[in-house]
Amino acid sequence: MKFGVVVAARTGSTRLPGKALLPLGGKPMILFLLERLRPSRLAERLILATTTLPGDDRLAETARSAGFEVFRGEPEDVVARYAACAQAYDLEYVVRVTADCPLLDAESLDWCLEQCREFGRFDLASTKRAFPVGLDYEIFRAESLRRIHEREPLSAEDREHLTLYFYKRGERFDVRRLQPPAHWPRTGRTFTVDTAEDYAACVALVEGLEPGDRSALACLRRAVA
């Protein structure tokens, strides 16, 4: 199985505009995330997927200047953007990551991909309701998304929320559940960055960790301490 990580980001957030470029751990938040995912042993590609809007030029250039691959596609149709990215890079399975989850890392990513390899062929594997919000992944078969994009009567909501159709038509798809490591502490805290308050909490969490260990596990342990 061949996995490609596609990180969706844009600067047009209404609640926290330009959040992907705000500083975190001494660098733009998008680079903080991409650099944490880059050491993955099992992901063959790591791509920033942003939009074709001029407002996202700086975001694309920030990632490209740091040596990351960048794909630019549909501003509003997330299904179309991901389907086009998967086709452009000939991806077999796509790991969906959003830039508002900056605390993900290669270790947690590979933990999920190991489980996917054990599943064999599937349409979607998800951490929903098993991992803390903001430390989660969705992995889907690129061909399955292509068929949905080209053949199904998707609503605007379906196209905005990338994997929604898989869940709505669960009887038609092989949807698997990913489980967290047994040693991960349990918490109801969320780790997404959607608002200024979320961002301040994320900065405080990262700054409270040792620079040599800012892993997802370290973030979890700090959050429940």
Query: In whole angstroms, what is the distance from residue 150 CA to residue 82 CA?
Result: 13
Query: In whole angstroms, what is the distance from residue 225 CA to residue 214 CA?
Result: 15
- pLDDT for position 187: 92
Write the pLDDT tens digit of every residue in 131-174.
999 999 999 999 999 999 999 999 999 999 999 999 998 899 99
Residue spans of the domains in the chain: they are 3-224
- CATH 3.90.550.10 fits domain 3-224: yes
**Please, which residues bridge with residue 73 across strands?**
51
- pLDDT for position 162: 92
Query: The pTM is what?
Result: 0.95
Query: In whole angstroms, what is the distance from residue 31 CA to residue 36 CA?
Result: 8
- pLDDT for position 13: 78
Residue 50, CA distances (Å) to 42, 85, 97, 115, 181 in order: 23, 10, 12, 28, 31
Q: How many CB atoms lie within 10 A of CB 209?
A: 15
Structure tokens at 84: 């086009």
- Relative orientation angle of helices 106-119 and 216-224, to the nearest 10 degrees: 110
Q: What is the mean pLDDT of the chain?
A: 95
Low-confidence ranges of the chain (pLDDT < 70): none
| 8 A C-beta contact, residue 104 and residue 58 | no
Q: What are phi and psi of 5, to 5 degrees?
A: -90, 125
Contacts of 183 (CB under 8 A, 6+ apart): 217
